[in-house]
Amino acid sequence: MPDKLFGEMIAILDFGSQYNQLIARRVRESKVYCEFFPFNITPSRLVNLNPKGIILSGGPASVAQKGAPFPHGKILELGIPVLGICYGMQLLAWLLGGEVAPAKKREYGKSELFVGEDEDLFYGLKSPLIAWMSHGDRVAKLPSGFEVIARTENCPVASMRDKKRRFYGVQFHPEVAHTPQGKKMIENFLFKICECSPQWTMSSFVDYSLERIRNKVGNQKVICGLSGGVDSSVTAVLIDRAIGDRLGCVFVNNGLLRQGEVEEVINTFTRHFHLNLHYVEAEERFLSKLAGISDPERKRKVIGEEFIGVFGEEARKVGKVEFLAQGTLYPDVIESRSAKGGPSATIKSHHNVGGLPSDLHFKLLEPLKDLFKDEVRILAKQLGLPEKILNRQPFPGPGLAVRIIGEVTRPRLQILREADTIVTAEMQKYEKFPEIWQSFALLLPIKSVGVMGDERTYEYTVALRIVTSLDGMTADWARVPDDLLERISHRIINEVKGVNRVVYDISSKPPSTIEWE
């Protein structure tokens, strides 16, 4: 099984915490490979994966509640070290004969953590520490073999261990930035308890991926949707490296792209990369399907279905194609998982995962599905992709459709394209542009009164979304200089017909999202 190529890996069992991806990030930053698995993974599959350690993630459930997600009990009999985080620790306690009860006082936020010994999980750390708590339940009675190794004022069992079996539990979240020494605790679990060695790097990931792609595809053909964004470009280049001309790339003009994008993508990928690129002109097809639709989720579903339809037709032209490759990233997988009945809450249906029809005839090939955005950028560099592509801001699959609030029409697309071109041009002149995660315009379905010359106007409003972020999971509105905002606003109102007002979105994610739909 190619699963074992890395030699050392940590298996994270997913119980649906919103912080889950951070656990994976911390582990990988420590140069240890890890992957998420369904919480009910079978013990035999785990044995086959041969992980050096298991992390039971947090999650929104309560162990005592009906239908709460439980791992297979036998995974605790495999002799593999376990770290249970929050709900994961409660599971450990519950499954091993301890007691879990609702906390007297729900603990949320920063707490002072008093640690007993400066060893194993807390090696090298000085008590008291700061820990981020977010829980309603607590361990009321330790299972036999366990001892308390840290507490907070409200939580007598903030951390517990069974040193002999190498089982550890923390009631707080070591993976979040609000637990400043959390990374060290995770490293301690990896290196002191699981005895991992820090070996995982992006170049090893490339070898691993090539091997994995070759194993999966055999001598069949793959079709890949190329949008020109970092994700699909890396996907295409990686697969091209693995299987060469058995990869056909399809670039669909869905009518929802930005100004000049079609020409740019065609140029880059035929001239620079010499990929086998099929260009599909499908503007009319997408826009007619979107007519009359305002609901964000409907838009995403319609676009997703149409994409798959177009691919199917292209694939048939190419001959027998088994696989559809997509640049799905880890955050897309997590955010869409609940649509398939997983334990997290649904936020948005990302077209490249959630909108796939069930009668899909392709098998999916998603070589980036375990990576975060910044990891993909490192991978892009490793693969020799040019800076221009490497530093491209993310652009959603459903394109400008999710940046036009309300119905998508050609005149509205025209207005948004013109406004967005101005935003991009002005932002690129800003000295801190490389620190910006995304900067774009949105068209709101709101008309308001203005005055231009001596005349009353009644026109649309453009919103500016400029955010900083590390991975798109959390984001903050960017504090850009006033004169930059002024220039953008002035130019849009003066140059774009149909707009008389520009507003700046000052919401962070969470509780907002980056895209408005």
Partners of 12 in the β-ladder:
36, 55
Using DSSP's 3-state secondary structure scheme, residue 6 falls into coil
- In the residue annotation, 366 being an active-site residue is answered as no
Q: Which one of 8, 35, 86, 155 is the catalytic residue?
A: 86
Task: Select 375 or 515, whichever has its Cβ closest to ligand XMP.
Answer: 515
What span, in angstroms and rounded, lies between the C-alpha atoms of 438 and 209?
28
Enter the tokens of residue 47.
Answer: 């044995």
Selected from 166, 216, 289, 348, the binder of ligand XMP by CB under 6 A is 348
505 binds ligand XMP (CB under 6 A): no
For residue 34, give the nearest of 9, 13, 54 by alpha carbon: 9
Q: Which one of 8, 155, 173, 249 is the catalytic residue?
A: 173
Instruction: Name the packing angle between helices 202-217 and 373-382 (round to 10°).
Output: 90
Task: Select 111 or 352, whichever has its Cβ closest to ligand XMP.
Answer: 352
Task: Select 99 or 297, whichever has its Cβ closest to ligand XMP.
Answer: 297
What span, in angstroms and rounded, lies between the C-alpha atoms of 136 and 310?
48
Tell me if 495 sits within 8 A of 452, measured CB to CB.
no
Q: How far is the CB of 368 from ligand XMP (least distance, A)?
A: 11
394 binds ligand XMP (CB under 6 A): yes
367 binds ligand XMP (CB under 6 A): no
Q: Which one of 8, 35, 107, 175 is the catalytic residue?
A: 175
507 binds ligand XMP (CB under 6 A): no
- 3-state SS of the chain: helix, strand, coil percent to 5? 35, 25, 40
What span, in angstroms and rounded, lies between the C-alpha atoms of 141 and 224?
53
59 binds ligand XMP (CB under 6 A): no
Binding segment (CB under 6 A) for ligand XMP, from list 75-83, 174-182, 245-253, 509-517? 509-517
DSSP labels, 409-460? -HHHHHHHHHHHHHHHHHHHHSTTGGG-SEEEEEEEEEEEEEEETTEEEEEE
Selected from 398, 408, 464, 492, the binder of ligand XMP by CB under 6 A is 398
Q: How far is the CB of 197 from ligand XMP (least distance, A)?
A: 34
Q: How far is the CB of 122 from ligand XMP (least distance, A)?
A: 35
Q: Return the number of other C-beta atoms located less than 10 Å from residue 449's C-beta.
A: 10
Task: Select 367 or 396, whichever has its Cβ closest to ligand XMP.
Answer: 396
Task: Select 28 or 348, whichever has its Cβ closest to ligand XMP.
Answer: 348
Angle at 179 between CA 171 and CA 128, to 5 degrees: 80
What span, in angstroms and rounded, lies between the C-alpha atoms of 58 and 122?
20
- In the residue annotation, 375 being an active-site residue is answered as no
Please report which helix (H) or strand (E) contains residue 238, including its range: helix 230-243
Selected from 32, 472, 480, 500, the binder of ligand XMP by CB under 6 A is 472
Task: Select 167 or 330, whichever has its Cβ closest to ligand XMP.
Answer: 330
Q: What is the CA radius of gyration of the chain?
A: 25
Contacts with ligand XMP, 426-445, as mask; x by CB under 6 A: ------------x-------
Count of residues engaged in binding ligand XMP, rule: CB under 6 A: 14
Task: Select 138 or 299, whichever has its Cβ closest to ligand XMP.
Answer: 299
Residue identified by tokens 């994610």 is 509
| HSE toward the beta carbon, residue 167, CA cutoff 13 A | 24
Taking the alpha carbons of 270, 275, 281, 285 in that order, is the dihedral positive or negative? Answer: negative
Contacts with ligand XMP, 13-52, as mask; x by CB under 6 A: ----------------------------------------
- In the residue annotation, 175 being an active-site residue is answered as yes
Binding segment (CB under 6 A) for ligand XMP, from list 39-47, 346-354, 374-382, 445-453? 346-354
Q: How far is the CB of 243 from ligand XMP (least distance, A)?
A: 23
Tell me if 154 sits within 8 A of 102, measured CB to CB.
no
Q: How far is the CB of 180 from ligand XMP (least distance, A)?
A: 26
Enter the tokens of residue 209.
Answer: 């991926």
296 binds ligand XMP (CB under 6 A): no
474 binds ligand XMP (CB under 6 A): no
Selected from 351, 369, 417, 501, the binder of ligand XMP by CB under 6 A is 351
Q: What contacts 375, CB < 8 A, 6 or more positions away?
A: 28, 202
What span, in angstroms and rounded, lies between the C-alpha atoms of 493 and 496?
6
Selected from 71, 88, 367, 396, the binder of ligand XMP by CB under 6 A is 396
Q: How far is the CB of 18 from ligand XMP (least distance, A)?
A: 13
What span, in angstroms and rounded, lies between the C-alpha atoms of 426 and 489?
10
Give the residue numbers annotated as catalytic, written as ranges. Answer: 86, 173, 175
Binding site for ligand XMP (CB under 6 A): 348, 350-352, 394, 396-398, 438, 472, 509, 513-515
